[in-house]
Amino acid sequence: MPFDAFSEVPDEALLIAFANGDRASAEALTLRLTPKVMGFAVRMLGDRAEAEDVAQEAMLRLWRIAADWRQGEAQVTTWLYRVTSNLCTDRLRKRRGVGLDTIAEPEDGRPGAAHGLLEQARASALEAALADLPDRQREAVVLRHLDELGNPEIAEIMDISVEAVESLTARGKRALARALAGRRAELGYDDD
């Protein structure tokens, strides 16, 4: 399928083309943005099924806003991350009323032929430690170090100052470094 043809086209241009009735643009945006939203939601919620619901809902909101999208005001991805963040926060809040036992364990990294066992162990250990962080710290760390967004964009997504983002990521990283210290051996860090 000719999705490669869209690889150079900015998200916003595709969104506007979609608003004007172009289905191919919607398909290109689906393939480009859904994985990002899904990855973020899985890490925020630690549950694949719930993350899929959130991802679908966030994308639906994008389709619905397309016709009223105001060009140049926000980046499509920033807007989408923000919507996803809010949807995840809502779900996390609702969960607080639910017993911890009912919450699914974070998924281990799926086995992939390209990744060695150590890589897998590292990824799963990190995901597990992330799941134990306070929600806001986890969100900031995921956006900064896994989605690799810049602090100003994260600030916009989380509706806080850049300084607050820096503080959250720093505290999150310190907590991760502490939490994972006991697993040095399985992470392959015992050589020195």
Partner 1 sequence: MTMTDPRNLDDTELDTLFGAARAQAPQASAALLARVAADADAVLADRTAPAPARPGWLAQIVGGLGGWPSLAGLAAASVAGVFIGFAAPSAVETASGGYIAGDGYDVADFLPSYTDALGDS
Q: Is 51 in the site for partner 1 (CB under 8 A)?
A: yes
Among 16, 56, 82, 131, binds partner 1 (CB under 8 A): 56
Q: Is 182 in the site for partner 1 (CB under 8 A)?
A: yes
Residue linked to tokens 């806001």 = 136
Q: Is 5 in the site for partner 1 (CB under 8 A)?
A: no
Which are the contacts of 88, defined by CB distance < 8 A and separation ≥ 6? 40, 41, 44, 45, 54, 139
How much is the CA Rg of the chain, to the nearest whole Å? 18
Q: Is 138 in the site for partner 1 (CB under 8 A)?
A: no
Residues 99-118 touching partner 1, rule: CB under 8 A, are 107, 109-110, 112, 114-115
| Minimum distance of partner 1 from residue 96's CB (angstroms) | 23
Q: Is 167 in the site for partner 1 (CB under 8 A)?
A: no
- Reported for 145-150, long-range contacts at CB under 8 A and 24+ positions apart, including other chains, are 145/169, 145/173, 146/39, 146/43, 147/36, 147/39, 147/40, 147/81, 149/81
Q: Is 173 in the site for partner 1 (CB under 8 A)?
A: yes
| Minimum distance of partner 1 from residue 182's CB (angstroms) | 5
DSSP state of 65: H
Residues 118-137 touching partner 1, rule: CB under 8 A, are 119-120, 122-123, 125-127
Q: Give CA angle at 56 (104, 173), nearest 5°.
A: 50
Which are the contacts of 133, defined by CB distance < 8 A and separation ≥ 6? 141, 172, 175, 176
Applying CB under 8 A, which part among 72-80, 90-98, 141-149, 160-168 lies near partner 1? 141-149
Indicate the residue type of 172: G
Among 42, 88, 143, 168, binds partner 1 (CB under 8 A): 42
Question: Is the Cβ–Cβ distance between 155 and 162 less than 8 Å?
Answer: yes
Binding site for partner 1 (CB under 8 A): 18, 21, 23, 26-27, 29-31, 34-35, 37-39, 42-43, 48, 51-52, 55-56, 59-60, 63-64, 66-67, 107, 109-110, 112, 114-115, 119-120, 122-123, 125-127, 145-146, 148, 173-174, 176-178, 180-182, 184, 187, 189
